[in-house]
Amino acid sequence: MSYKVEAVPDSYAALGEGPHWDVDRQSLYYVDLESAGINRYDFKQNKVYRAKIEGEIFASFILPVENKPQEFAVGCGLRTVIVQWDGVSAVAKVTRTLFEVQPDLKENRLNDAKTDPNGRFYGGTMAASGDIFTQWKGELYSWQAGGQPNAIRSKVGISNGLAWDVKAKKFYFIDTNNHEVLAYDYNQSTGAVSNPKVIFDLRKIRPEGPLFPDGMTVDTEGNIYVATFNGGTVFKVNPSTGKILLEIKIPTTQITSVAFGGPNLDILYVTTANKFDQPKPAGTTFQVTGLNAKGYAGVNLKI
């Protein structure tokens, strides 16, 4: 199979994260996490629009809100807030807080979050200072409109990749510090998850040291795509067997997350980071074509 990796023009983010394909606007939303930056790549215009969220330090994720075209749920510290943005202006504003987690652990912050196929929130926390790869202060949560955050898992190191396969009734989750992908049984009607099992162990891939799994997505055939923060690779994996089907090589090391998008949902968008002075093109968002696979669009958050 021959796939093609190309840079999205002018897509730099020092810590690019959280790609989310919005069908209605044919746009890829993603964040520049440590500068409270939110970005929109307009597919038709082939152009990135950027905004900073006024008064905030972090933007961990960006999720469009159902039926509110200028509202987005964004992770700012330990709060999930509603941000008003027209998708073009250079400034965005917080209008209210949706919910907060771990309010007593000020040294923590929210990390990756997504919506499940029914529009519920799933996401988690991590330590924001010190050696983040050796701390276990995070938690994984779900939340749905009208309710409170529900802790799914405690003693999480870095709460990261999330994906759902409705056909297989599975929810996939990555805690980066465990170097593995978990599969939970997933009840779509209630949102409940249970019976976590390790389905992909990244410790076994490279003898020179363990790879750090980061963001994740799933294709329509049920394969998972796992970004590696220190590996320059996205692994396409069969979650039933744990077998690597393809190694997608990206021309920088710190691969943060992945999402399918484009008009036919057959382009894999890949965000990257430029932490600790990486050489160019670190921090670029890439598009991978020719994978002969399709994924699912992002789902709006119901609030």
Active-site residue identified among 112, 175, 214, 219: 214
Has 10 been annotated as catalytic?
no
Residues 6+ apart with CB under 8 A from 41: 8, 11, 27, 28, 29, 30, 47, 48, 49, 269, 285
Phi, psi (rounded to 5 degrees) for 247: -110, 115
For residue 117, give both structure tokens. 């196929």
Any binding-site annotation on 17?
yes
Rounded distance, CA 73 to CA 82, Å? 5
Q: For the sheet with 16-22, list strands across it.
A: 16-22, 27-32, 37-42, 47-53, 91-100, 79-84, 68-76, 62-65
For residue 82, give both structure tokens. 């509603």
Any binding-site annotation on 221?
no
Any binding-site annotation on 111?
yes
Q: For the sheet with 150-156, list strands across it.
A: 108-115, 121-127, 138-143, 150-156
Q: Report, as residue numbers or ranges, the catalytic residues.
A: 214
Query: Residues forming the annotated binding site for a divalent metal cation?
Result: 17, 160, 214
